[in-house]
Amino acid sequence: MSMSAEQPAIHPGHYRLIVNPQSGSGRRRQLIALLESALRRRGHEVRVLPTQHAGHATLLAAELPAEVTAVIAVGGDGTFREVAAGLLDRPTPLALWPAGTENLAAKHLGYRANIAELIHLLETAPVEPIDAAICNGQPFFVIGGVGFDAEVVQRVSKERRGHISRWTYFWPIWKTFWNHRFPAIRVVADGTEFFRGRGIAFVGLMPRYALNLPITPTADCRDGLLDLCIMPCASRLTLARHSLRTFLRLPFWKKDVIYRQVRDIRIEPDEPQVLVQLDGDNAGILPAHFISQPHQLRILRPATPDQAAKVSRSRLRSSTTPSAPTHEAAISDWA
């Protein structure tokens, strides 16, 4: 039997949409309004909670009452990180509505911006635990970086004005390429020193980075491990070679990278002001202590591609009727 928004849900739930107003276009905002309206017509109680400043999503998630059935994070990887941080080690599960630039977590976990799929997920999906990681007391869930990419993140943050696209990164990457000083670092993982010298380091729980690049290709957010990738790099020529092989998705030579799966990582600077980023946000400077936190976040597990296709074929009848008054009200609430 196909699912219809006009049919009440068997078990009405209490849902919260934590929304980053800076993520996404006007079209995406209309889809959020349609989602809210469709959930209400199926008998669910829904509230949209827009974020107002950095860190606000974490506070909103942490303060949710116990009766909330699930939380939907609407935004990009930064929004996901903030909402997930507020739900760590709590029973309330999380789902994602991708509305950012890269949406790395949503892509890896299997979430799509599809109303029928999300409602089906909210009403039927099992809860699954995934890993988190802590760096200097700050949780993250996708990937952290030390050195070059952290400098790019800092430049983007300083120059950001509202919603960003992939083109937003072009000039920050260009400027960082010509101004990066290739700082020396020391990396100790699980008590063993693996590297000391000039280089770039990544710590991943998921395999992909910006532009869908496979920086930590074997990372799995369910295995309790951190994937550590160190690229020795002391010159722009070496940086260009690393970048080219990464963009072309060519395998790295063993002499080019150090790759380990570990649980505890300490990265110390051999010079001052070496930057750190976590999930695309500034996270201060070295030293940094990364610790695996297995199974600390509960998510609603998305359907497989075949299951998602089946749900899409039985789309909600109301998801294509934006003229209803409830949709207009929802758009007003979102803005």
Over its C-alpha atoms, the chain yields an Rg (Å, rounded) of 21
Q: Please, what are the domains in the chain?
A: 14-126+301-334 (3.40.50.10330), 138-295 (2.60.200.40)
Burial 272-294 (b: 16+ CB within 10 A, else e): eebbbbbbbbbbeebebebebbe
Question: Above 60 in pLDDT, residue 322?
Answer: no
pLDDT at site 8: 61
Residue range 68-108, pLDDT digits in tens: 999 999 999 999 999 999 999 899 999 999 998 889 999 99
If one compares 308 and 75, the residue with the highest pLDDT of the two is 75
Give Cα separations from 303 to 112, 124, 308 (angstroms).
10, 10, 6
The amino acid at 3: M
Which one-letter amino acid corresponds to residue 160? R
Cα distance between residue 137 and residue 132, in whole Å: 12
Give mean pLDDT, residues 59-71: 97
Tokens of 319: 């998801």
Encode pLDDT of 181-233 as tens digits.
999 999 999 999 999 999 999 999 999 888 788 899 999 999 999 999 999 99
8: left (phi over 0), alpha (psi -120 to 50) or beta: beta
For the ranges 30-39, 113-122, 302-311, the lowest mean pLDDT is seen at 302-311
**Mean pLDDT across the chain:** 87
- Tokens 């935004």 belong to 75
Confidence of residue 170 (pLDDT cuts 50, 70, 90): confident
State the Cα–Cα distance between residues 159 and 167, nearest whole angstrom. Answer: 13
Closest CA to 71 of 94, 87, 54: 94
The confidence band for 25, taking pLDDT boundaries of 50, 70 and 90, is low
Q: Provide mean pLDDT across the span 2-19.
A: 75
Model confidence at 167, in pLDDT bands (50, 70, 90)? Answer: confident
Q: What is the pLDDT of residue 125?
A: 96
